[in-house]
Amino acid sequence: MSAFKPVVTVSGTAVALPADDIDTDRIIPARYLKAVTFDGLGEALFYDERFTPEGEPKGHPLDEPARKGATVLVSGANFGCGSSREHAPQAIYRAGFRAVVAGSFAEIFFGNSTGIGLACVRLAPADLADLTQRVLDDPALVVTVDLEALRVEAGGRGYAAAMPESARTALTTGTYDPLAELLEGLEDVKRTAAALGHEVRW
């Protein structure tokens, strides 16, 4: 089990989707979950928001030529609500994004994102509104998410960001995949199971 690459800063152009409560069905429609791997999910990201049922592009920000190669996604509160499908952060990651800046995150989405090294940071409402507007205005604006300093910077302006300390440490030290540490505790796991005793006996 190799250590993962630390995620300390993410810097790049951005796409803004300024709305609250963007759910996992919108991020990745359920029909794309009919698969036994996560391959190819990046192309299906926000598919029904980007294309008509006939497959015609709707002119979604993700498809603006000037935003090609963006690595930071900016959205509103409660981003990723709904399903536990890890396909949602996998699709975002595989579409090239390495950080999501939002008002807040749904819990399961946040945990799934951290586990694959996708940095999710919160901004206060006024700061988020300011950053969103500037991203909308300027496709070339470079947004930097700095997990060490817990700040988001863009075009000389800085915003204080927030993120649970456990997730921040996990990302910056490259220990966001918890499996290795969970495996270290297997003797303790067996002790806990034994102490629970007859609670579960099949």
Partner 1 sequence: MRHRPRSLLDKVWEAHAVRTLRSGQTQLFIDTHLVHEVTSPQAFGMLRDLGLKVLMPERTFATVDHIVPTHTRVEPFEDPMAAEMIAQLRRNVAANGIAFFDVGSGRQGIVHMVGPELGLTQPGTTIACGDSHTSTHGAFGAIAFGIGTTQVRDVLATQTLALGKPKLRRIEVNGTLGPGVYAKDVILHIIRTLGVKGGVGYAYEYAGDVFDAMTMEERMTVCNMSIEGGARFGYVQPDQTTIDYLRGREYAPKGADWDAAVERWLSFRSDPGCEYDDVVVIRAEDIAPTVTWGINPGQAVAVHEPVPRPDEVPEGERAAVAEALAHMKIEGGRPLVGTQVDVAFLGSCTNARLSDFVEAARYLEGRRVHPRVKAIAVPGSEHVKSECERLGIDRVFKAAGFEWRDAGCSMCLAMNPDKLVGDQLCASSSNRNFKGRQGSPTGRTVLMSPVMVVAAAVTGVVSDAREVFGVSREVVA
Q: How many of the chain's residues bind partner 1 (CB under 8 A)?
A: 64
Quote the CA–CA distance of 119 and 99 in Å, as a whole number. Answer: 5
Q: What residues from 72 to 91 belong to the interface with partner 1 (CB under 8 A)?
A: 77-78, 81-87, 89
8 A C-beta contact, residue 19 and residue 75: yes
Please classify residue 189 by burial: count the beta carbons closer than 10 Å to its beta carbon, then call 0-12 exposed, 13-18 middle and 19+ buried. Answer: exposed
User: Pattern of binders to partner 1 over 22-61, x per CB under 8 A?
Assistant: -x-xx--xxx-xxxxxx---------x----x--------
Range list of H helices, 95-185: 107-115, 125-137, 165-172, 179-184
* Closer residue to partner 1 (CB): 66 or 196: 196
Contact 143, 149 (CB under 8 A): no
With contacts defined by CB under 8 A, name the span among 3-11, 14-22, 91-99, 148-156 that binds partner 1. Answer: 14-22
Beta strands in 52-105 (DSSP E): 72-75, 99-102
Q: Does 193 interact with partner 1 (rule: CB under 8 A)?
A: yes
Q: Is 133 left (phi over 0), alpha (psi -120 to 50) or beta?
A: alpha
Using CB under 8 A as the binding rule, whether residue 172 contacts partner 1 is answered as no
By the criterion CB under 8 A, which residues form the site for partner 1?
1, 19-21, 23, 25-26, 29-31, 33-38, 48, 53, 77-78, 81-87, 89, 104-108, 111-112, 115-116, 164-167, 169-170, 175, 177-179, 181-183, 185-186, 188-189, 191-193, 195-196, 198-202
